[in-house]
Structure 1
Amino acid sequence: MWRRSLAENSSSVELSNSSFILAAERTDRKDPLNGYKHYTGGWNISNNHYWASVGFTAAPLFVLALIWFLGFGLVLLLICCCYCCCRRQSYSYSRTAYALSLILLILFTCAAIVGCIVLYTGQGKFHSSTSNTLDYVVGQANITVDNLRNFSESLADAKKIGVDQIFLPADIQGKIDAIQTKLNSSANDLSTKTKDNSRKIQHVLDEVVLALIILAAVMLLVAFLGFLFSILGLQFLVSIFVIVGWILVAGTFILCGVFLLLHNVVADTCVAMNDWVDHPHAHTALDDILPCVDTATANESLYRGREVTFQLVNVVNQVINNISNRNFPPRAGPLYYNQSGPLMPPLCNPYTAGLSNRTCATGEVSLSNASQVWRGYICQAAVVSGSEICTTAGRVTPGIYKQMAAAVNVSQGIYLYGPFLTGLEDCTFVRQTFTEINNNYCPGLEQHSKWIYVGLVMVSTAVMLSLIFWVIYARERRHRKYNKQFIHSGQPPLPLQEKAP
């Protein structure tokens, strides 16, 4: 009955998994790969349609990058054509335009510097938050892997347990061998998959962070040098930096779109984790982050753990009831070791023959204190013909007591893995991990990814506007310089287009 209920629960979980959609409302976006119809597949980082739909949210920034690249490139081309074809130049200038362009140039340069600071700070915090999250996920997986392997070792120890030459039945030992193979395989799969996923994510993040650091440094350098060359009137260098800035701004707008996409993916992931916690399932797209242990293996492990514990307690109680608590005559051979005195209390079996939970009966000792209680039943013994014989009152020799204590320790160890194995069955450890991430890690991830996005927007916009005012200010400064030269040479100055008040 107990095994059948586990199988029914497992099948119901697998059945519901096929129709479960993570973060369905949040991921309801237009899918350009499907004729701009709404994407309905939920959070799934292995689905191209998911990436297309979330990428579509960043389309305005990609379009802006294209418009800027083509539009400003066309403007530069027209300026070059005018310069080459129309050699006549006018040196009139506007004092208002000169002053205003200088003020705006300073303002946008400061904005670019602030944007670089926000970008650099954001990428550092985002990298730290992401690394901490990945470390936590790997740590949780490692705890589960260690528990699986320790449980497997406990089962292996159970095979070696013998009390007064009584061991586990041969069929139980064979079943232990079979489940050990599955446990080790599950542990290796979980460890390998989690570490591989973490390593891939960390590698991508390291590359992105390095690119952001380089971008922040380059944009800061371009903004500062462009401002400096413009102030100094170095027209040739300003022209070079205008071209460099033109390309960098287009690339930065594209990177803005990429990080807006990443920000949305992070938010989608957090919502998906929360959905999974509210509606836990064994197999979903979240397996790409932290997979559950195979349900069949978890069920069988839980069953075998109970079965081995039940059988080990039976082995101990057989010795207590059939040997230690009976007064055999010397002619009984190996059953006799001069046992006498008060009867030993039997060991409480935590399970019934059907492997359901059982309450200890009066007079039984529990797994937690049996070894301590039984110390009062140890006799002093002498070795006679290679066997221990009690020389004082007592129900067990020191050797038999050690064997019983070893059996109790192994039984208790396997028994204590019960809650862990139950958690494996319903993926509790994954639920706890995702709950912790959603509560303590997601807010920082979303905030810091937004900082990067905001910093990129600030930098790209500020440098874009700075480019324009580099050209305007350099022109006004050059024209102002020529007008001053005319005044000092005694020639009438060129007419002003407008006078400052």
Structure 2
Amino acid sequence: MLCSRSKTVFVLFSFLLVATGISIAEKEAASVEEEWGTSVKERFMAEEKGENSSLILAANRTKRKDPTENFNIYTGGWNISNTHYWTSVAYTAAPFFVIAGVWFVIFGLSLSLICLCYCCCARQPYGYSRVAYALSLILLISFTIAAIVGCVFLYTGQGKFHASTTDTLDYVVRQANFTAENLRNVSDYLNAAKKVDVQSIVLPGDVLSSIDNIQGKINSSATTLSVQTMENQDRIQDVLDNMRLALIIIAAVMLFLAFIGFLLSIFGLQCLVYTLVILGWILVTGTFVLCGLFLLLHNVVGDTCVAMDQWVQNPKAHTALDDILPCVDNATATETLSQTKLVTYQLVEIVDNFMNTIANKNFPPQARPLYYNQSGPLMPLLCNPFNADLSDHLCKPGEVHLNNATEMWKSYTCEYITTGTCSTPGRLTPNHYTQMAAAVNVSYGLYKYGPFLADLRGCNFVRSTFTDIERDHCPGLRRYTQWIYVGLVLVSTAVMLSLVFWVVYARERRHRVYTKDYNAMHSEAPRDKGPL
């Protein structure tokens, strides 16, 4: 009687555990669907009402119980550097960790009890139910198919999730590298400005000193941006690669276990079946733990996407999102923008001053070195894009713009036989043209980066990056983490039930074989006793 009861308890417990797991999975799925059914903007508006003084990212979404704070509600918002954030998110996965622990303990005790019954209370099997045999076989086939489907779902989900996360990381790194490269280009243009010399006219000393000062800050900001982003990418990519390898191994092992266990059960290799049951008992525990971990990851991905969207609507220079992609220091960006405007203004003034005082004047031969036989139509002045106060300046009629000045001035360049003296009509010697072209190219380069620096000052490049991620990458990340989570739940549940029916089917098969042998033996006995 003990053996029958233990087996009955064993089967009932397994079904109860499955029902509990499915119920929790449905509740989690419903919770996720409800959260994502609400638009990000609606959540932000609801959270913004109580968070006007400071920016707490994803405040409502991250309100979860924190087991390290006596199960009080965590109110710190999205912050991957805060241990309390992680413990509160981990608490959402606690049901799966509990199921894993309960399964490991109770199933282990059930196996031990069955083994004790088999060893200590051994008796010949009797009784055979065709319905029980057929039903156990049908359910075993069904759960094996479900396990295979779950493994395929898990493998597909992890592949798409890895590709999606890698694309997202690459995009962030490209944006950061693009910004850092532009900053270095600005630094190079400022360095070139220090070498501009138009007929011995150079930038004032105070401007040269300020260029040296701002160059150090620019290079430091560019280096910090590149290094921090690359470090974050390497750290996250290592985790993703290890995660992908673990999921591939789990999918392959569980697929192998389900298929081999089914075959061994069909062929009646009872010893190997019980060996696989023990192995599956441990693996199912591990997959339930992974279910919890991926539910945690799914929630973190959702929190991050909401946090990005809220930050875009209310950008701050310093938030928890600096751990992903930091803004360039606002003071440095502002100073760099002002310095590029000042240098551009000064360089254009140098060029225009040379044209006004030398190139467009007709000096007598005695006025060397100002005289170099300049003649012909007067050169158009270069339009200065800024006023003396560095405000925007509109070009006057007849002025040439920075983007086409060098082409316009080619026709005003003379040829010379004697170095330094024009032998054909023109207002510039080739040497003068080269010097002025260098000044214009530097000025135009600095002017061209003005909008970039203005966006940098407002941290617009980070805002644009996070907007693109939230719009283009977040839906895929959320979808594929859910695929993995659902795949793990399906695999765990299917293999868990397969373990149960390996044992049940093995028992029914053994009883069937014994009953057939017993019936065959007793059907032949009367014949042996008949008349000779």
Q: 1:287 aligns with which of 290, 300, 322?
A: 322
Instruction: Note if 1:438 corresponds to 2:470.
Output: yes
Q: Tell me which residue corresponds to 2:364.
A: 329
Contact 1:486–1:492 (8 Å) recurs in 2: no
Distance 1:329 1:253 in 2: 95
Q: Would you say the 8 A contact 2:125–2:514 is kept in 1?
A: no
Residue in 2 that maps onto 1:220: 255
Distance 1:404 1:84, change over 3 A: same
1:477 to 488, 509, 512: 509
Deviation at 1:17?
11
Is residue 2:267 matched to residue 1:232? yes
- CA distance in 2 between counterparts of 1:336 and 1:455 reads 85
Q: Give the superposition deviation at 1:362.
A: 2.4
Mapped contact 1:119–1:451 kept (Cα < 8 A): yes
* Deviation of the 1:420 alpha carbon: 0.6
CA apart distance, 1:379: 2.3
- Match of residue 438 from structure 2: 406
Quote the offset at 1:298 in angstroms: 0.8
Query: Quick one: which of 149, 158, 171 aligns to 2:193?
Result: 158
* SS of equivalent to 1:76: helix
What's the CA shift for 1:392?
Answer: 2.9
Deviation for aligned residue 1:382: 2.9
Instruction: Give 2:245's aligned residue.
Output: 210
Contact map agreement 1:194 1:290 (CA 8 A) in 2: yes
Q: Could you tell me which residue of structure 2 aligns to residue 9 of structure 1?
A: none
Amino acid at match of 1:193: Q
Answering whether residue 135 of structure 2 is matched by residue 103 of structure 1, we say no
Find the counterpart in structure 2 of residue 340 from structure 1: 375
Q: Are residue 422 (structure 1) and residue 454 (structure 2) matched?
A: yes
Which of residues 296, 303, 315 in structure 1 aligns to 2:338?
A: 303
1 CA distance for matches of 2:478 and 2:344?
A: 47
Deviation, structure 1 residue 89: 4.1
Q: Letter of the aligned partner of 2:98 in structure 1? A: V
* Other-structure match for 1:276: 311
CA RMSD of aligned residues (A): 1.6
Q: Does 1:454 align with 2:489?
A: no
Who is 2:3 aligned against?
A: none
Q: How far apart in 1 are the matches of 2:371 and 2:511?
A: 119
Q: Matches of 1:142 and 1:314 in 2, distance apart? A: 34
Q: Does 1:369 align with 2:404?
A: yes
Q: For 1:351, what is the secondary structure of its paired residue?
A: coil
Deviation at 1:258, TM superposition (A): 0.3
Q: Which residue of 2 aligns with 1:497?
A: none
Aligned amino acid, residue 220 of structure 1: L
Q: Which amino acid aligns with 1:461?
A: T
> Which residue, 127, 138, 147 being the options, matches 1:112?
147
2:369 match: secondary structure: helix
Which residue matches 1:192? 227
Higher relative contact order (CA 8 A, sep 6+): 1
Q: Structure 1 pair 211/17, CA: closer, same or farther in 2 (3 Å)?
A: farther
Amino acid at match of 2:415: Q
Q: What are the Cα deviations for residues 302-352 of structure 1, in whole angstroms up to 9, with x where unaligned?
A: 111101101100110110111112222222221111222322221111111
For residues 355 and 89 of structure 1, the distance between their equivalents in structure 2, rounded to whole angstroms, comes to 101
Instruction: Give the match for residue 181 of structure 1.
Output: 216
Per the TM alignment, residue 281 of structure 1 is displaced from its structure 2 partner at its CA by: 1.4
**In structure 2, C-alpha distance between the alignment counterparts of 1:65 and 1:420, rounded to whole Å:** 53
Aligned to 2:496: 464
**Equivalent residue of 2:389, what SS?**
coil
Residue 31 (structure 2) aligns with: none
Q: How far does residue 232 in structure 1 lie from its aligned partner after superposition? A: 1.0
Per-residue Cα deviation, 1:282-317 (whole angstroms, up to 9, x for no partner): 121111111111112111111111011011001101
1:107-146 deviations in Å (ceiling 9; x for gaps) = 0000000000000111111111111111111111111111
For the Cα contact (< 8 Å) 1:29–1:54, is it kept in 2? Answer: yes
Show the counterpart of 1:70.
105
Please, which of 257, 263, 279 is the counterpart of residue 244 of structure 1? 279
How many Å separate the matches in 2 of 1:18 and 1:197?
A: 30
- The more displaced of 144-153 and 460-469 is 144-153
SS of corresponding position for 1:382: coil
Q: What SS does structure 1 have at the residue aligned with 2:408? A: helix
Residues in 1 aligned to 2:94 and 2:334: alpha-carbon distance in whole angstroms: 47
User: Which of 34, 55, 59 in structure 1 is aligned with 2:90?
Assistant: 55
1:160 aligned counterpart, secondary structure? coil
Q: Which of 83, 92, 114 lines up with 1:79 in the alignment? A: 114
| SS of equivalent residue, structure 2 residue 163 | helix
**Do the aligned partners of 1:30 and 1:36 also contact (CA within 8 Å) in 2?**
yes
Distance in 1 of aligned mates of 2:96 and 2:485: 11
The residue number in structure 2 matching 1:256 is: 291
**Runs (5+) with no aligned partner, structure 2:** 1-50, 526-532
State the alpha-carbon separation in 1 of the partners of residues 241 and 468 from structure 2: 24
Supply the distance in 1 between the matched residues of 2:515 and 2:377 (Cα, whole angstroms): 120
Letter in 2 for 1:292: C
Out of 355, 362, 372, which is 1:320 matched to? 355
1:13 matched residue in structure 2: none
One-letter amino acid of the structure 2 residue matched with residue 130 of structure 1: T
Structure 1 residue 381, shift from structure 2 partner: 2.3
TM-superposition CA deviations, 1:443-490 (whole Å, max 9, x none) = 111111111101100000000000000000000000010000011112
Cα deviation digits, residues 146-181 of structure 1 (max 9, x gap):
111111111111111111111111221121111111
Q: CA deviation at 1:364?
A: 1.7
How many residue pairs get aligned? The number is 475
Unaligned segments of structure 1, at least 5 residues: 1-15, 494-501
Q: What amino acid sits opposite 2:185 in the alignment?
A: N
How far apart, in 2, do the equivalents of 1:88 and 1:113 lie? Answer: 36
Residue 172 of structure 2 aligns with an amino acid whose one-letter code is: V
Q: 1:350 aligns with which of 385, 391, 395?
A: 385
Letter in 1 for 2:445: G
Residue aligned with 2:372, SS? coil
Q: Is the 8 A contact 2:385 2:392 kept in 1?
A: yes
- In structure 2, which of residues 424, 427, 432 is the aligned counterpart of residue 392 of structure 1? 424
Aligned to 2:17: none
Contact 2:166-2:237 within 8 A present in 1 as well: yes
Describe the SS at the equivalent of 2:421. Answer: strand
